[in-house]
Amino acid sequence: MTSTHPSTTDPDLVLASASPRRAEILERMGVRFQTVPQAVDEQVLPDETPEVFVFRLALEKARAGWAGLGGDGHVPVLGADTAVVVDDTLLGKPADRDAALGMLEQLSGRTHRVLTAIAMVDGQRELTRLSLSMVTLRHLGTAEREAYWRSGEPIDKAGGYAIQGRGGVFVEQLEGSYSGVMGLPMVETHDLLTEFGIDYQSRWLAEQ
């Protein structure tokens, strides 16, 4: 499914993601984009570090998006992937209630890493960036973890929580990028847009 944000026939890029958080961040920045979600295998490879994992998936999503355009796209494709890491263990999206509650218990009262890699491709170049944030959650009681699961928010979130949603009440401290924890770091995204010659900021005054 392809959609355009905001309504325009002249996008700056294609977003290879169905994430509403990533779309929201691009809209905040004033970037014009189309969404062309890409499904890739998110299994961790043997001996793959979390950093390599998120870089690989971000690139695979961007490449798949480019291939889906038939290699004849007029704008670059942006892919992204986010991982929550605690004790060098990578926490993906929980598959069910038990997985989500287990992740929240692991993260309770502790500091963890959030890695978000982004990649942009246009058939000639492939550029990547990495955002690293340190997030500390306060202690979460059993009843609170269960109530959060029942809210429905954890199911499609890396690590089982959403900093921009109800899960934000769990976050005691953040060192790094808030937008990176959401799934698309603004500074690194701006860097790639600049590298690809996309002057999205020139429209800011005209859109007032």
**Does residue 81 carry a catalytic annotation?**
yes
Per run of 10 residues, the mean pLDDT along the chain (length 208 residues) is 53 93 96 90 88 95 89 85 93 93 97 97 95 98 96 92 95 97 97 96 79
Percent of the chain with pLDDT over 90: 77
Structural domain includes residue 16: yes
Task: Report the distance separating Cα 38 and Cα 24, nearest Å.
Answer: 18
CATH number at residue 47: 3.90.950.10
Q: Is position 153 within any domain?
A: yes
78: domain range?
A: 3-203
Q: Would residue 11 count as lying in a domain?
A: yes
pTM over 0.85: yes
Q: What angle do CA 162, 42, 12 make, to 5 degrees?
A: 70
Identified catalytic residue from 10, 72, 81, 88: 81
- pLDDT tens-digit profile of 127-152? 999 999 999 999 999 999 999 999 99
E strand intervals along the chain: 3-5, 13-15, 33-35, 77-86, 89-91, 111-121, 126-137, 171-175
126-137 and 111-121 beta bridge pairing: antiparallel
Asked if residue 49 is part of any domain, the answer here is yes
Exposed / middle / buried, residue 43 (Cβ in 10 Å: 0-12, 13-18, 19+): exposed
Q: Considering the domain boundaries, does residue 208 fall inside one?
A: no
How many distinct structural domains can be found in the chain? 1
**pLDDT at site 7:** 42
